[in-house]
């Protein structure tokens, strides 16, 4: 049986999609406590984006919202495994439904140890293809930058990073210094403000 919420999200406007995604991030992904982040920093909260990006409603919201944020000249979306994997897949699938057909690339942290020993998985792209890097949560910006570097080394043109959440801990400034445009669907302040309304 098809979920009526999924059907509504398939045709909902951007404002409705944003509100639903905000609710999912606040109720499923956001937790308070004592955490060590991938950057090595300690934090009083943690956002596990995969709890939303692997959720059917979350994936649909993510795919539709991020697709709407991509420049028209985008040839592909890509991201560093594992956090970006469901995001680039969602955007790619939604793009086919909306007539844009944007392929997804997954960038490995280490080269594959067998076969082609590739860093990048996905359909081959022409030299100079315009690729937008997607991320779930940005803290310092280092994770997505690994993907940017690998893609540029492979001959892609990368000048933009889009994240679901900006923790506002230097990532945006770092990307600007690297000559990258950066956008986030939500700031951590927006998520924390919403959490307070549902406690």
Rounded to whole angstroms, the Cα distance separating 32 from 17 reads 25
Rounded CA separation 90/63 (Å): 5
What pLDDT, on the 0 to 100 scale, is given for residue 58? 98
For residue 1, the model assigns a pLDDT of 40
Domain parsing of the chain, residue ranges: 4-198
Q: What is the pTM of this model?
A: 0.94
pLDDT string in tens for the chain (199-residue length) = 446 666 789 999 999 999 999 999 999 999 999 999 877 889 999 999 999 999 999 999 999 999 999 999 999 999 999 999 999 999 999 999 999 999 999 999 887 665 556 899 999 999 999 999 999 999 999 999 999 999 999 999 999 999 999 999 999 999 999 999 999 999 999 999 999 999 6
pLDDT at 117: 60
**What is the Cβ-side half-sphere exposure of residue 158, based on CA atoms within 13 angstroms?**
28
Specify whether domain 4-198 bears CATH 3.40.50.2020.
yes
Residue of 122, 114, 177, 183 whose CA lies nearest to 154: 122
């Amino acid at each position: 049986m098809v979920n009526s919420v999924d059907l509504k999200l398939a045709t909902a406007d951007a404002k409705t999609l944003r509100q639903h995604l905000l609710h999912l991030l606040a109720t499923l992904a956001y937790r308070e406590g004592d955490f060590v982040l991938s950057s090595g920093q300690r934090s009083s909260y943690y956002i596990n984006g995969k709890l939303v990006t692997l959720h059917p409603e979350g994936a649909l919201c993510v795919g539709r919202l991020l697709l709407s944020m991509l420049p028209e000249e985008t040839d592909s979306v890509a991201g560093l495994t594992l956090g970006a994997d469901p995001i680039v897949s969602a955007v790619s699938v939604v793009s086919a439904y909306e007539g844009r057909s944007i392929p997804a690339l997954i960038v490995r942290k280490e080269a594959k140890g067998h076969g082609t020993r590739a860093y990048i998985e996905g359909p081959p792209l022409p030299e100079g293809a315009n690729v937008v890097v997607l991320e779930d949560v940005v803290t310092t910006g280092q994770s997505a930058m690994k993907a940017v570097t690998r893609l540029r080394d492979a001959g892609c043109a990368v000048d933009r990073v889009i994240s679901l959440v900006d923790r506002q801990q230097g990532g945006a400034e770092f990307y600007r210094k690297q000559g990258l445009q950066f956008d986030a669907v939500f700031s951590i302040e927006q998520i924390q403000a919403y959490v307070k309304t549902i406690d």
